[in-house]
Structure formats: structure tokens, C-alpha cells
Amino acid sequence: MPPIIPDPPPPDEADLAIGRHIADLVEDGSTIQLGIGNIPNAVGKCLMGKKDLGIHTEMLTDSMMELCESGTVTNRKKTLIPGKTVCAFAFGTQALYDWVNNNVSVLFLKGEWVNDSTVVRRNSKMVSINTCMMVDMTGQVFSEGIGTSQFSGTGGQFDFAMGAREGYDKKGKSIIACRSTAKGGTQSTIVPMPPPGTPVTLHRGVTDYIATEYGTAWLRGRTVKERAQSLIAIAHPDFREQLKEEAEKCGYL
């Protein structure tokens, strides 16, 4: 049976804007994990030109292959298995599958080890980059479903977020990205609170950064008021006044 080959559309300007904001947070010498979708692919493009990045990720994608081929990823600065791109599986084009075939620089290991937060934390300057469907004004992240409708699973998002935050060198970062609107721009993805039944993927206590095309919000250690203000500032301009009014009603502001 031939491998599955996805055919996603190229990242648009909103995806690339998010990618640029996230790239600004990634220091040279960091070890990265990227999730799936157009935004992580855009992040990969925007990371071009960084120096000595490493990879420790559940899924290996074309954007990571391109980072390796460009010399952006060298894996030299990794503290866990230096010199190797570590992953659990690859998912992408035939070019990616051909590239990983017999490639001694890529190390495939069991997902239960790759995704273990106590393993992830052993990477210096670990940066976890994932996406979500919705964020509330306190920093809770919803990546699996809306209300009682299930769209996805948790994947390795929680594991990598925890591993990055708990990095032994205290220089790790957990970044969650999402576009500021959904359903053709008719709904804000930043909300006062989610619909009843929406599963929480990341507790607000383990959320570091939220990024949209309008900027990034730093949440770790901040009050509910500070979180609400920061998240409203990166919401779509069409929804900011409404969100401010709703935040005041909820007692967040």
C-alpha cells in the first residue's frame, strides 16, 4: 500500500504573519517541535535563516526537511541526541519519504518515548509549536473539539507543551498558534468562555504564548486581567470591542 500523501494549500498571508511572529520567539540553537497544518508549515518557512536549530518532534514534515536541507537545522546544539533529527513518524510528500529513506541523520523512535514530557525536557531551549481551534480569555486552549463535537485528538500537544515549559535549562517555550477568526471571519477564535462541553487541551496554567496574525500574547505568570488584555490585543480588530465588553461582564477586566 503506497504511503498517504497530503495535498494542503500553500500558507496564505495570515498563516505567514503568524509564522513570522513565532519565528521572532525562536532563538538560535533552539530545539523545535512543530504540529500539523498550514500554520506550522508557515512557521517552518519563517524559521529559514536561524542558526543551529535542532528537531525533536512527534511528526516530521516537509517544512522540517527543508529546514534541514537549508542548513537552518544542524542539530549541533541539541543536548539530547545531538546530531540527529528525532521523530516518531513522517507525514508529507513523496520527496519527504524519499529523503528520510536510509537517512542516517534522522532517527525514528517510539512515540511513547519521543512524546514523553520527561524526555522532551532534556532538550535545551526546547520550543513547542502547536495550533488550536479556540482560546478563552484566561488562556485555556481548546484543540480537540467545540462543544460536544469532536474534531481531533490531543496528539502530542500537551506532552510537548509540558516538556518545553519544564526544560532543565528553564529556557523552553510553549507556543500555541491560531488564526484570529474562524468560519470565514464570522467568529472570533478568542472567546470569553467556550461553548459547554468543549474539552480543555491545555490548562491556562501551562500556556506560555498565544500567537495570531496580529501578534503574540505572553501569559505565563500573569493575572487573569493581564491575560484578557493581552489576548484581546491580538484578537481580530472587528471583535475587540465586543470582547472587551464581554470580558468586563465576566469580571476579567
Global confidence as pTM: 0.94
Q: Are 60 and 100 in contact (CB under 8 A)?
A: yes
Mean pLDDT in residue range 140-168: 92
pLDDT at 152 over 90: no
Residue 5 in domain? no
pLDDT band (50, 70, 90) for residue 210: very high
SS3 call for 168: coil
DSSP 242: H
Task: For residue 75, give the CATH number of its domain.
Answer: 3.40.1080.20
Nearest CA to 147 among 203, 200, 201, 196? 196
pLDDT at 154 over 90: no
β-bridge pairing 54-60 and 31-34: parallel
pLDDT at 160 over 80: yes
Residue 59: give the domain boundaries: 13-250
Residue 18 in domain? yes
pLDDT at 178 over 90: yes
* CA 82 – CA 76 distance, rounded (Å): 6
Assigned C-alpha cell, 59: 511528526
Assigned C-alpha cell, 188: 472570533
Residue 7 in domain? no
pLDDT band (50, 70, 90) for residue 9: confident
Phi first, then psi, for residue 45 (nearest 5°) are: -65, -40
pLDDT band (50, 70, 90) for residue 155: confident
Residue 8 in domain? no
Biggest CA-to-CA distance, the chain: 59
pLDDT band (50, 70, 90) for residue 193: very high
Phi first, then psi, for residue 174 (nearest 5°) are: -110, 120
27 is catalytic: no
Number of domains present in the structure of the chain = 1
Annotated catalytic residue within 58, 66, 144, 213: 58
SS3 call for 5: coil
Residue 165 in domain? yes
Assigned C-alpha cell, 86: 528525532
pLDDT at 11 over 90: no
The CB density around residue 204, as the number of other CB atoms within 10 Å, is: 18
Mean pLDDT in residue range 94-121: 97
The CB density around residue 93, as the number of other CB atoms within 10 Å, is: 15
Q: Give the per-residue pLDDT at 37.
A: 84
* CA 11 – CA 177 distance, rounded (Å): 14
pLDDT at 201 over 90: yes
pLDDT at 153 over 90: no
Mean pLDDT in residue range 236-243: 98
Residue 122 in domain? yes
Residue 157 in domain? yes
